[in-house]
Structure 1
Amino acid sequence: MTAVIGMPKIRIDDSIACTKLILGSMMLKEEDMEHSAGLMDAYVAIGGNCIDTAHVYGESTARAVGLWMKERGNRGDIVIIGKGSHPYGSPRMTREFMEQDLLDTFERMQTDYVDIFMLHRDDPDKTVGYIMESMNAMLADGHCRALGVSNWTVARIEEANAYAAANGLTLLTCNSPNLSLAKPNEARWEGCVSVYADDLAWHERAQMPLLSWSSQAQGFFTGRYDRDNGDPEIRRVYYSEANWERYRKAEQLAREKGVSANDIALAYVLNQSFPVCALIGPNNVQELHSSAAALKVDLSAEEAAWLDRVDLV
């Protein structure tokens, strides 16, 4: 595939713009740098500029990203999302843990900042005032350039930004929940948040960028699963009559447009009425190029609504 130099971008703030496809990093390993570097090289070759990382993904993943950036000399060209304060089984929503997670990330990645710092989970026991004051301290210390959250409800985001605005602090500029055509029956991991119609309406009003994880529903639309078989985890989260009906519709529309059902599912995420990026987790270059095909699929608002709407008798 030739480079997609003009891959569309969305603006996170005045200084940061992310390409519509964000490369997840969980499949990258320091122990296999040939594969990891090859995948990151291929991502950049199709126009990508943003890599999603997290403290909880482990040292090997972060070190692979850091080694690649050092060898390519491209740190300034790559937007790094760094997520911290994952609970690890117990609350860690403190300024000290935020800072420690970032400092660990810097050591692993051989850098001294992340572009976007996100909290990986919410902790309702902590006030938004404490959280926003702590996150702004990370900005003041030069640890990051913008702030965001992952797996927060839009109600908490509104509350946090209202506090920040009233107290002269930098606001949260992006949200990273799960958004996919296949709607989960339950959270795949504890504390995770998926967005539905009311949340999408809020994003349309607020025009806050949404960076969706599991945007392809773990391959639900690839044809690798059927009603009687499949990974137990995928069956638990995604197997439902409503989602199989969405799969049927995606296949129908894919035939009409000459693409795959998986292209349609990813295009559903990318063609929202507000700024949106999709985090993808390709295991190889072929899967990366397959995901990139969705960038060329235009879905109208009517088509997206039709895909999502399920009227089971």
Structure 2
Amino acid sequence: MEYISLQGLEKKVSRLMKGSDYFYHQNYEKAAANMDAFFAAGGNSIDSAHIYCGGQSEEVIGRYLKERNNRDEWVILTKGAHHDQHGPRVSKEAIKHDITASLSRLQTDYIDMYALHRDDPNVPAGEVIEILNEYVKNGTVRTIGVSNWTWERIRDANAYAEEKGLTGFSFSSPNLSLAKANEPFWPGCVSADEETCKWHEAEQFPLFSWSSQARGFFTGRFTPENRDNADLVRVFYSDANWERLERAKQLAAERNVTPIQIALAYVLNQPFPTCALIGAQSEEELRSCDEGSRIKLTREELAWLDLSSDER
């Protein structure tokens, strides 16, 4: 498995990152087995959040790491400051509350990668940097980033950090997939568009993609006529995405792989550092992701898959 480096983090991060939004106490054995298999395949990074599974995701991870006694071999990405029924929660008080709870649930005294789960554009980017630097300075957080922020907000935050001699953001986690979103999957979500990707390439700024395989759009289970999954229809059903699927099928046949592996390779072959958050819940799915992560695509193939070119 391949790895990337992040500013402020001593450990390298596996380019496949295990998703944990199905980790509940009642299915602990399944979650633990999935993490064992992922670790055996070379994976060392896991994604969670304060809100996942009502907090059970972090608790399951904490239990697993304590039982296996291998906390320092894993890179934990967890997120906080998600909005609630009252609105945005990007504040000093909310961040402190969520980090404190996450540390307790994870049974650890530090978080490798901490990200704000959502943005509140009404809060100055510099103010957010000041808040998070308190946790970097005291060692609670190794490196900081954001999820579902625009590249402009990240740019402004990091410009402030550089001016003040503070630690800036070292990663961003929006949606990036071969299938392009018609609208946000959830309120406040951000998908990486062409302009975002150009900025990431220019800055060589690491991107950790959620829904990297478009929530199964490339599995072959979906057709324009099959409209059973309302969310998938709303977000990913479009003429352009059906054409992207057809091109993925064509390239997959030529490479003797599957379309969903091509979709994963699309994310991991971008001209800037990327990691893909994966939802593999079985050995077969994990094997598919591992194989897909090894596929190399040229710049011309990326453009052809993405409909930017008709030649490859």
Asked if these proteins are the same fold (TM beyond 0.5), I'd say yes
Matches within 5 A, 1:149-188: 149-188=146-185
Question: In the TM superposition, what is the alpha-carbon distance from 1:143 to its structure 2 partner?
Answer: 1.6
Render the CA deviation track for 1:187-231: whole Å, top value 9, x for unaligned.
Answer: 000000001111111111100110000000000000111111131
Question: In the TM superposition, what is the alpha-carbon distance from 1:60 to its structure 2 partner?
Answer: 1.4
Question: In the TM superposition, what is the alpha-carbon distance from 1:285 to its structure 2 partner?
Answer: 2.4
SS of the residue corresponding to residue 55 of structure 1 reads coil
Cross-structure match for 2:81: 85
Q: 1: distance between equivalents of 2:150 and 2:163?
A: 20
Is residue 246–residue 310 contact of structure 1 (8 Å, CA) maintained in 2?
Answer: no
Question: In the TM superposition, what is the alpha-carbon distance from 1:16 to its structure 2 partner?
Answer: 3.5
1:28 aligns with 2:26: no
Paired-residue identity, %:
47
Is residue 112–residue 141 contact of structure 2 (8 Å, CA) maintained in 1?
Answer: yes
Render the CA deviation track for 1:133-153: whole Å, top value 9, x for unaligned.
Answer: 001112123221001001011
User: Which runs of no fewer than 5 residues in structure 2 stay unpaired?
Assistant: none
Cross-structure match for 2:201: 204
1:64 aligns with 2:64: no
Matches within 5 A, 1:104-119: 104-119=101-116
Matches within 5 A, 1:48-59: 48-57=43-52, 58-59=54-55
Cross-structure match for 1:263: 261
User: Which runs of no fewer than 5 residues in structure 1 stay unpaired?
Assistant: 1-6
Q: 2: distance between equivalents of 1:109 and 1:30?
A: 13
Q: 2: distance between equivalents of 1:304 and 1:63?
A: 39
1:42 aligns with 2:40: no
Residue-pair matches, total: 306
Cross-structure match for 1:280: 278
The TM-score, its normalising length taken from structure 1, stands at: 0.95
Q: 1: distance between equivalents of 2:78 and 2:191?
A: 20
SS of the residue corresponding to residue 117 of structure 1 reads strand
Cross-structure match for 1:11: 5
The TM-score, its normalising length taken from structure 2, stands at: 0.96
1:100 aligns with 2:97: yes
Render the CA deviation track for 1:133-186: whole Å, top value 9, x for unaligned.
Answer: 001112123221001001011000000000010011101000100000000100
Letter in 2 for 1:309: L
Render the CA deviation track for 1:241-276: whole Å, top value 9, x for unaligned.
Answer: 000000000000000100000000000000011110
Question: In the TM superposition, what is the alpha-carbon distance from 1:311 to its structure 2 partner?
Answer: 8.1
Q: 2: distance between equivalents of 1:95 and 1:138?
A: 11
Render the CA deviation track for 1:40-62: whole Å, top value 9, x for unaligned.
Answer: 00100110000001001022111
Is residue 88–residue 119 contact of structure 2 (8 Å, CA) maintained in 1?
Answer: no
Q: Among residues 129, 138, 142, which one is paired with 2:139 in the alignment?
A: 142
Is residue 80–residue 95 contact of structure 2 (8 Å, CA) maintained in 1?
Answer: yes
Render the CA deviation track for 1:2-42: whole Å, top value 9, x for unaligned.
Answer: xxxxx110111252321110001101222222111000001
Is residue 303–residue 309 contact of structure 2 (8 Å, CA) maintained in 1?
Answer: no
Is residue 254–residue 264 contact of structure 1 (8 Å, CA) maintained in 2?
Answer: yes
Farther off after superposition, 241-250 or 106-115: 106-115
Cross-structure match for 1:227: 224
Query: Runs of 4+ in structure 1 displaced over 3 angstroms?
Result: none
Farther off after superposition, 303-312 or 219-228: 303-312
Is residue 148–residue 190 contact of structure 2 (8 Å, CA) maintained in 1?
Answer: yes
Letter in 2 for 1:51: I
Cross-structure match for 1:123: 120
| RMSD, matched Cα | 1.3
SS of the residue corresponding to residue 296 of structure 1 reads coil
